[in-house]
């Protein structure tokens, strides 16, 4: 019983972040839930072997592995499912105008769409660094690649994301980005 309590105490605070990571890999909300459930079950079963290091990188490595395994088994591509708008940044001062709200929604959709189109290796490191605020060493531990590879993938991923965003900006005729 003590093991279960300790696992819950250490692992449950990262459930939302684990879901976000799984979602960006599998790009489907139902599959992301399945991945997180599978990952938490595997993590619980392996918890005796957990050496008390940082829980987040250990857990995210399991989530990532489960997500890739699901993709490999299914061998299918997923349609982009928009995230709920609650992940959009709030406007700092007062209520936004309808125009500001629309521009923000369009920009958020452009970012999500561009991010979803990144190759998985780049998307992984961009999501882990920019959305989950993990360190290079934590990302290296999760992805199983050297820190230098993490840094180069992050740089390349950001460049591809900027390029994709510029393309969307040109297509939409918007200069709001």
pLDDT of residue 117: 87
Residue 63's Cβ-count burial label (10 Å; 0-12, 13-18, 19+) is buried
Given a cut of 50, the residues of the chain with pLDDT beneath it are: 76-93, 175-177
pLDDT of residue 78: 43
Residue 109, token pair as written in the block: 């959709």
Residue found by looking up tokens 């991010």 in the block: 115
pLDDT of residue 79: 43
Please tell me the pTM assigned to this model: 0.64
pLDDT of residue 76: 47
pLDDT of residue 131: 84
Instruction: Please give the Cα distance from 154 to 68 (Å, whole number).
Output: 19
pLDDT of residue 67: 94
Write down all domains in the chain, each with its CATH number in brackets.
2-74 (1.10.1740.10), 98-172 (1.10.10.10)
């Amino acid at each position: 019983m003590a093991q279960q309590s300790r696992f819950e105490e250490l692992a449950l605070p990262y459930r939302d972040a684990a879901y976000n990571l799984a979602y960006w890999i599998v790009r489907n909300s139902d599959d992301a839930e399945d991945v997180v459930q599978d990952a938490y079950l595997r993590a619980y079963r392996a918890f005796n072997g957990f050496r008390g290091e940082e829980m987040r990188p250990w857990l995210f490595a399991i989530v990532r592995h489960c997500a890739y395994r699901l993709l490999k088994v299914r061998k299918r591509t997923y349609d982009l499912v928009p995230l709920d708008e609650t992940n959009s940044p709030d406007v700092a001062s007062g209520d936004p105008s309808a125009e500001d709200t629309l521009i923000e929604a369009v920009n958020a959709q452009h970012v999500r769409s561009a991010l979803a189109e990144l190759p998985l290796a780049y998307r992984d490191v961009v999501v882990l660094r920019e959305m989950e605020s993990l360190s290079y060493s934590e990302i290296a531990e999760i992805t199983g690649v050297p820190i230098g590879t993490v840094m180069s993938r992050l740089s390349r991923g950001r460049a591809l994301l900027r390029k994709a965003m510029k393309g969307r900006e040109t297509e939409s005729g918007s200069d709001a980005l």
